[in-house]
Amino acid sequence: MAQDQTHFYPLLERIRQGDQEALGILYDATVRRVFAVAFKITSNHELAEEIVSDVYLQVWRTAAAYDMERSTPLGWLLMLAHSRALDTLRREASSTKLQVEMPETVDVEDTQTLTPQEVVLDAEQGSELQAAIRLLDGQQRQMLALAFYRGMSHQEIADYTGEPLGTVKTILRRAQAILRAALTDSYPNVDVS
């Protein structure tokens, strides 16, 4: 089923003009598809999250490079994700060439594969988390992404965004409080602290 993407064109134009809210809207509307491409290629959740972060950072920086004659907005995002994922795999492969291989007789427990119940729970929690993230403003979303997807410290976020360190800490505390309140309402028996 083809998705109507006409509403993405004005968002890209707003992003070209430096509108962070437009980037947040585009992110919310497309992140699942971008993550799916990255995860399908890498089969690694952490790498896929890093790729997603890189894709939207590239969109922010190079929205002017988007050419509607060459692809749809979603097609462009998925192409960026595909390209980043392949580059990441190449980088990972070259960094592991010198590692010692484990003998095939070693039995290793598969802790990565989710059970069907875990897949359903993850999907439910993922949609709840996305709904909670939509409660945040663009600045809060950006700082949370920098902290959790990029692993930046508060000081690194302050340096990156140009905001004072105290402001960064306050914004992150407020964002976490909003998410905690939204998620504890959805999952009262789950500790999200």
Alpha-carbon distance of 161 to 156, in angstroms, equals 9
Predicted model pTM: 0.48
- Separation CA 124–CA 77 (nearest Å): 25
- The arithmetic mean of pLDDT across residues 6-25, rounded, is 89
Q: Give the per-residue pLDDT at 53.
A: 93
Q: Give tens-digit pLDDT for 34-62.
A: 999 999 988 889 989 999 999 999 999 99
Q: Which of 193, 191, 188 is nearest to 177 (CA)?
A: 193
Given a cut of 80, whether residue 116 has pLDDT beyond it is no
85 contacts 51 by C-beta, under 8 angstroms: yes
- As a whole number, mean pLDDT of residues 100-118 equals 58
Instruction: Please report, rounded to a whole number, the percentage of residues in the chain having pLDDT higher than 90.
Output: 24
Q: What are phi and psi of 189, to 5 degrees?
A: -95, 5
Say whether pLDDT at 142 is over 80: yes
**Number of C-beta neighbours around residue 141 at 10 A:** 20
The mean predicted confidence, pLDDT, of the chain is 79
Flag whether pLDDT at 170 surpasses 60: yes
Task: Name the band, by pLDDT with cuts 50, 70 and 90, for residue 123.
Answer: low
**What pLDDT is recorded for position 176?**
84
Q: Quick one: pLDDT band at residue 124, thresholds 50, 70, 90?
A: low
In this predicted structure, the answer to whether residue 96 has a pLDDT above a threshold of 80 is no
Q: Which domains does the chain have, with CATH numbers?
A: 1-96 (1.10.1740.10), 113-193 (1.10.10.10)
- Say if residue 119's pLDDT is above 60: no
pLDDT for 51 equals 93
